[in-house]
Every structure is written in structure tokens, then in C-alpha cells.
A = this chain, B = another copy of it.
Amino acid sequence: MPIVTAAMLVIGDEILSGRIREKNAGHLAAVMTAIGIDLKEVRIVGDDENAIIEAVNALRVRYTYVFTSGGIGPTHDDITAPSIARAFGLPWDYDARAMEILGSHYKQRGIEFTEARKRMARMPEGAFHIDNPISRAPGFLIGNVHVMAGVPAIFQAMLDNVVPTLRTGRTLLSRTVHCPVGEGTIGEALSGIQDDYADVAIGSYPKYDAGKFWTEIVLRSSDESRLDAAEETVRAMVNELAG
């Protein structure tokens, strides 16, 4: 099965200024891993049309899917939709169905459907909606680029709607081995095991708990028997060096 890859583009001055902590990349990463898509790159850029265009064009030709977060709200600095349209060389417009969804949403609540709020209906021509069950304003899919909200609860809800539509790769299996000593003690041996198992990704994560250093070793592969063999080898090494 071919490997399916993804990249994420986070858009927002508030992230780069440190005013807001970025929270969507970690969620997307975990979801992609769980469904066997290989997240290869994340970029964070500001609310700047040229920066958005350059990044989305660099990423969309290189990876199977691109996911963006941020910049699709009602304020003047929310410029993601027209910027994505320009990246594709497409015109954008106020999407008729999005106008309907938002219009009826605000009418029900007795809130004025202002020009600012209408900005949330902007989409490149030919875009497909990504449903937003929380605040209604939809995200959209154009080409292989999923344009989603920056607010974590909305980003996550949109992603839940997108996942079933994705062509996922092999299912990535993983195994975790607890190692009671630090990386320095096992690094060399682990490196040797990695050389023997090129088809198993071996990561080691330094941990510090209750005054003691230890290491979590994670093995990932789509091939269960290779994963079994690599896991057994790592466990034997840990027992020998740290047992």
C-alpha cells in the first residue's frame, strides 16, 4: 500500500507572538499516527497573504494532504480563505450555502448577520464544505487542502468529519518498551538495533520522574512480525544493560 503523507499549516500572528499557545498540531499528529498517515511537516506562519500562499503551495505539491488551522474567523486579519484561493489561482466568493447556514444560525439567535460575520462564508470557487457542528461557520476542502478553524474544539470537530474521507495508508502499529535507565546507557545498543530493523522506526524518549531518569522506547511499523522481532530484541537489550 502506498504511504500517505500529510503536512499542517498553522496560521496566526497570535501564535508567533506567544499570545496563544498552539494546541492543534499535537492533536492532528496523534490522529494521523492512529490512522496510519505520516505527518511529515508542520509550519506556522503569520496572518500574511504571501507567507500563507508560499507555504500552502510548497506543502500541497509535496504531501498527500494538507491541513490548515486558523484565520477563518470574522475579523480583518482573518485572511486564510482568500489567500488559499490565490494559492490555487482561483477566484473566491461568498459561498451560497455557507451564507444560508450562517444567516439562519444568526437569525435563530437574534444576532445581526454583519459584514464581518459574512467574511466567514468566503471560499475559493469549487470548494467542498467541512461541517462545523459547534459554531456553524464551515471549513472547506480545495484540492488536497483542508482549511479548518484555529479554535481547538472546532478544529477537532472538523477533523472528526474529515477523517472518514481520507485515504489512509497502512495501519501503523506501535509497541512501547519501558527502560529504567537514561538514554546514554542504551543509545549505542539501540542504534545497532535500528540498523538491523530499518523497517521499524525506533524512537527513544527521555523521561524524568521522582528523581530518576528513565527512557521510553517506542517502536512503530506496519509489519507486525518485524515489530515483534524488533520489540523482543529491544527488551533483551534493556534487560542486559539495565536489568
By a beta-carbon cutoff of 8 Å, the part of chain A in contact with chain B is 10, 13-22, 25-33, 39-46, 51, 73-77, 111, 114-117, 119, 151, 183-188, 190-191, 194-195, 198, 201-206, 208, 211, 213, 218, 220
Q: B19 to A203, Cβ gap below 8 A?
A: yes
Q: B41 to A17, Cβ gap below 8 A?
A: no
Query: CA–CA, A194 to B40, complex, Å?
Result: 31
Contact of A201 among B18, B21, B44, B111 (CB under 8 A): B18
Q: B44 to A77, Cβ gap below 8 A?
A: no
A119: chain B residues at CB < 8 Å are 187
Q: A76 to B191, Cβ gap below 8 A?
A: yes
Closest residue of chain B to A111, judged by CB?
B184
Query: CA–CA, A137 to B225, complex, Å?
Result: 38
The A interface, classified by DSSP as helix, strand, loop or mixed, is mixed
A205: chain B residues at CB < 8 Å are 14, 19-20
Q: A206 to B30, Cβ gap below 8 A?
A: no
10 A-B pairs whose Cβ atoms sit less than 8 Å apart in the complex: A17-B29, A18-B29, A18-B31, A19-B218, A21-B26, A40-B46, A42-B43, A42-B44, A77-B203, A119-B187
Q: A114 to B187, Cβ gap below 8 A?
A: yes
Q: A44 to B46, Cβ gap below 8 A?
A: no
Q: A25 to B44, Cβ gap below 8 A?
A: yes
A71 CB to nearest chain B CB (Å): 12
Q: B46 to A43, Cβ gap below 8 A?
A: no
Q: A116 to B191, Cβ gap below 8 A?
A: yes
Q: A18 to B30, Cβ gap below 8 A?
A: yes
A26: chain B residues at CB < 8 Å are 15, 18, 21-22
Given contacts A17-B203, A74-B183, A114-B187, 18 further A-B contacts (CB under 8 A): A15-B29, A15-B42, A16-B42, A17-B39, A18-B31, A18-B32, A18-B198, A18-B201, A19-B33, A19-B218, A22-B26, A42-B44, A73-B183, A76-B194, A77-B194, A114-B185, A151-B206, A208-B211
